Amino acid sequence: MIVLFCSMISRHLESFSVGYDSLRFLHQIRGFKAVSGRISCIKIMAEFMELEGQDGVRMAWNVIPGTKQEASNCVVPVSAVYTPIKSFPNMPVLPYAPLRCRNCRSVLNPFSIVDFAAKIWICPFCFQRNHFPPHYASISDENLPAELFPQYTTIEYQSPGEASSIPPVFMFVVDTSIIEEEMAFLKSALSQAIGLLPDNSLVGLITFGTLVHVHELGFSTIPKTYVFKGSKDVSKEQLLEQMNFFLIKPKPPTGVIAGARDGLSSESIARFLLPASDCEFALNSILEELQKDPWPTPVDQRASRCTGTALSIAASLLGACVPGSGARILAFIGGPSTEGPGAIVSKNLSEPIRSHKDLDKDSAPHYHKAVKFYEALAKQLVHQGHLLDLFACALDQVGVAELKVAVERTGGLVVLAESFGHSVFKDSLRRVFRSEDKDLGLSSNGIFEINCSKDIKVQGILGPCASLEKKGPLCSDTIVGQGSTSAWKMCGLNQATSLCLIFEIVKKEIPDATLQSSNNQFYFQFLTYYQHSTGEMRLRVTSLSRRWVAGPGSIQDLIAGFDQEAAAVVMARLVSFKMEIEAEFDPIRWLDKALIHMCSRFGDYQKDSPSSFSLSPRFSIFPQFMFHLRRSQFVQVFNNSPDETAYFRMILNQENVANSVVMIQPSLISYSFQSAPEPALLDVAAIAADRILLLDSYFTIVIFHGSTIAQWRKAGYHNQPEHQAFAQLLQAPRDDADAVIKERFPVPRLVICDQHGSQARFLLAKLNPSATYNSDGHHPGGDIIFTDDVSFEVFLDHLQRLAVQ
């Protein structure tokens, strides 16, 4: 059996020339016909990536089951992975306000029905008739505004005069309860970051250990700080009172949000938030003199660290000074919180930090209290429009699992590394502030809304956002992730931020054939109102149409519109979500039942005859994705800490389909003298003595040298002029790895290892174990995996037998 491993191929599809123009294919996908014969995997992937290149959307079902029962039978929910502010070079930006439906507030789009004579347009969502305003008087069939062009299904509006008057704001919150070596690494990285800040950006600094120090940067005479006890939670009112904010002006009434426009003078704010160009010298002076926390730590205790108190003070200070500004709190944490609210473990070293087993048994005494504290902090930050970025660098756990809710709901960035001196941290921090072509495109103050046809409801979103609790007819009773709303707050977002939208089909009856053929479109509209990195307020509108089918004969249409990669990513986000919220949830059993049900419904077979089983090329890779998802770090928590698992899931929940597929099923490239670099099977059989393998698992990139290649390298053959070909062979995977590292955030860890070496485990753990310690027929120069896990072939054999029953 030939196994196609196509996540590798999808990374190289940008160079693949597709023979359809985007409009023709968009028309085809709205009216799919059943296609007979075999279609190549490359062409299938290219079709869906072409659609994503137009609208930033990948849907698991591009032909949608038309009734509630049909959708239930499809197992994978009707869903979309949407990248709200994906960069489109040819997307028009219109310099005027959008035209909205007076009933449902949807925006005029190419699917609207227009009566040019009467100057009326009909909303495709609620069928409301709307009059065009006077400035559309010249509209005609030959003179269309850009928003009605069929190719502009994604468009952006830039309203003049709506630019934010507040520059970017960065509040650095720095852990000082770390060893001297780590402190030196951190100070060096922070000095570089400060030098990369935009000159007009406002900067603040808080350091913490046993106590919290708020640095008054505006007091240039001598270094001046306000000190707060780390074991005590400080309210916003207490903070403002103790920092003498109202020494000159009267205190604002209770319940009023403080800020420059209601109680605080710009002079008061400038004490703690200064333009980077004005305070760079002061900041660098403070960093140079910064020492590790001076409070002694007994040998049998952990260092005192009040992470929760420091973050709470940072949030309150920003809420007082710059509410609604899209300010970022950048938290640099080097160990577990042991003091005050949000503590994850006691100071006593005899108490271990919680493990997955402790969480499963509900025997982690600090966990629920810390999560509750950070949920309140997340709510405060969302209300203020601020976000939390987390840089956690330690060999021990620091509390990422507890902090996850605050980072994810505010749309913050997260980086997890072993040390502040590690390239993963240093390069990732530089990328945050880099302003080159491949910058992150950081934006803020986002509000995301959905409109869709009346037969569809929204169950929720899995991704970096927070519910705005805007209830209405679009909200489903079933809640998944951030649900029971049709609007969400995205305090922070970038060009790669992706949301997974889960829908519910509410139509119960099967319509007759005549109605189905005349009115068989479902419409979706995604609206993202956000502050662009330039400071402008923009509204991006994406309008979609997908055909629905129901009744006998609809299976072939559903198969033709199935996107295997998008479906795998949706299932990965769903299973991660269920593992976090459902007690006694068995992820392997849930995934297996879903896969068996799908293969039974969409496979081609004779009952009770496994050998007759086959899947359409549109489905043939999906079982493989599920096999690797079962073995991935999202499902298998053994040998991972709760912090690592939380980190992996946070990145999965914010990445697009292409990157998420690499996390689920890593890509593998083979380099040898016999051929040019080529994709290899993600299988232990790919290992050979005279071959170099490059594994990309998103979080880690592994360059693996076969035993012969390693011996030649150690002998120094690549340094000899007559062996230039060998030197080039060694360099080729390194160049490819560097190209991936430059484009990715967080920056992945690079591992260079040899066959039979200790770090070869990074590769072996991801390979299909087709050859193990108890199997026969090992090929010379190859390798085996010491595991009792079943191979993909055995998995597929069991799947076929169960699917045909």
Mean pLDDT throughout 528-553? 90
CB 229 within 8 A of CB 312: no
Of 401, 464, 387, 591, nearest to 81 by C-alpha is 464
Q: Where are the alpha helices (DSSP H) in 524-668?
A: 555-560, 564-581, 587-602, 622-631, 642-652, 657-664
**How is the beta sheet containing 700-705 ordered, strand by strand?**
678-679, 667-671, 692-696, 700-705, 749-754
Torsion (CA) 461, 466, 470, 476 in degrees, nearest 10: 30
Task: Give yes or no for a contact between 264 and 258, defined as CB atoms under 8 angstroms apart.
Answer: yes
> CA geometry: angle at 121 spanning 116 and 126, to 5°?
160
Strand order in the sheet with 57-59: 57-59, 79-82, 499-505, 456-462
Q: Categorize the per-residue pLDDT at 790 as very low, low, confident or very high, splitting at 50, 70 and 90.
A: confident
Question: What is the structure's pLDDT at 302?
Answer: 93
pLDDT of residue 509: 73
Q: Is 666-802 in the same CATH topology as 169-251+259-433?
A: no
pLDDT at 779: 64
Indicate if the alpha-carbon torsion angle 589, 590, 592, 596 is positive or negative: positive
Give the confidence band of 514 by pLDDT, cuts at 50, 70, 90: very low
| pLDDT mean over 321-339 | 93
Mean pLDDT across the stretch 577-597? 94
Checking phi first, is residue 366 left (phi over 0); if not, alpha (psi -120 to 50) or beta?
A: alpha
pLDDT of res. 58: 95
Q: Identify the CA nearest to 702 among candidates 717, 689, 716, 692.
A: 692
* Inter-residue contact 344 to 264 (CB < 8 Å): no
User: Which pLDDT score, from 0 to 100, does residue 774 have?
Assistant: 67
- 802 or 261: which leads in pLDDT: 802
Report which of 342, 328, 412 is spatially closest to residue 374, judged by C-alpha positions: 342
Find out whether 791 and 769 touch, Cβ atoms under 8 Å.
yes
Query: What's the CATH code, domain 666-802?
Result: 3.40.20.10
- If one counts every other C-beta atom within 10 angstroms of the C-beta of residue 24, the result is 10
Q: Tell me the average pLDDT of the chain.
A: 87
**633 Cβ contact list (under 8 Å, min separation 6):** 640, 644, 645, 648
The C-alpha atoms of residue 215 and residue 206 are separated, in whole angstroms, by 6
Tell me the helices (H) and strands (E) count for the chain, helix number first. Answer: 24, 30
Tokens of 502: 């889960």
pLDDT tens digit sequence for 337-375: 999 999 999 999 999 999 999 999 999 999 999 999 999
Annotate 587-609 with DSSP letters as a single string.
HHHHHHHHHHHHHHHH-EEETTE
What are 208's strand-pairing partners? Answer: 175, 212
Residue 234 is predicted with a pLDDT of 86
Reference 172, options 58, 91, 287, 341; nearest CA is 287
C-alpha 491: how far from chain center: 14
Which CATH number does the domain 169-251+259-433 belong to among 3.30.2130.10, 3.40.50.410, 3.30.70.270, 3.30.499.10?
3.40.50.410
Give pLDDT tens digits for 392-436.
999 999 999 999 999 999 999 999 999 999 999 999 999 998 876
pLDDT at 36: 32
For residue 16, the model assigns a pLDDT of 31
Question: Domain locations in the chain?
Answer: 1-54, 169-251+259-433, 666-802
pLDDT of residue 603: 92
> Is pLDDT at 256 greater than 70 in this prediction?
no
Which residue(s) pair with 714 in the sheet?
Answer: none
Does the bond joining 365 to the residue before it have cis omega, within 30 degrees of 0?
A: no
Tokens of 782: 């190859």
Per-residue pLDDT tens digits for 120-178? 999 999 999 999 999 898 999 899 999 999 999 999 999 776 666 678 999 999 999 99
Helix, strand or coil, per DSSP, at residue 695: strand
Tokens for 544? 């979609």
Give the C-alpha separation, 130 to 207, whole Å.
Answer: 56
Per-residue burial over 540-559, b = 16 or more CB atoms within 10 Å of its CB, e = otherwise: bbbbbbbbbbbeeebbbbbb
Q: What is the DSSP string of 108-158?
A: P-TTSEEETTTTEEE-TTT--EEEPPGGGTT--SSS--GGG-TT-SEEEEE
Inform me whether the pLDDT recorded for 217 exceeds 90.
Answer: no
Flag whether pLDDT at 697 surpasses 50: yes
Instruction: Give the phi and the psi of residue 428 in degrees, each rounded to 5.
Output: -65, -40
Q: In the 8-state DSSP scheme, what is residue 419?
A: -
Burial class (CB in 10 A: 0-12, 13-18, 19+), 532: buried
This prediction's pTM: 0.90
Strands (E), 354-417: 387-393, 414-417
Q: Supply the pLDDT for residue 768.
A: 87
Mean pLDDT over residues 76-87, rounded?
95
CA distances from 107 to 116, 200, 451, 505, 524 (A): 18, 35, 9, 23, 11
Give the model's pLDDT for residue 484. 92
CA-to-CA distance for 484 and 390, rounded, in angstroms?
A: 28
Look at residue 665 in the predicted model and tell me its pLDDT.
96
- Residue among 526, 469, 465, 461 at smallest CA distance from 490: 465
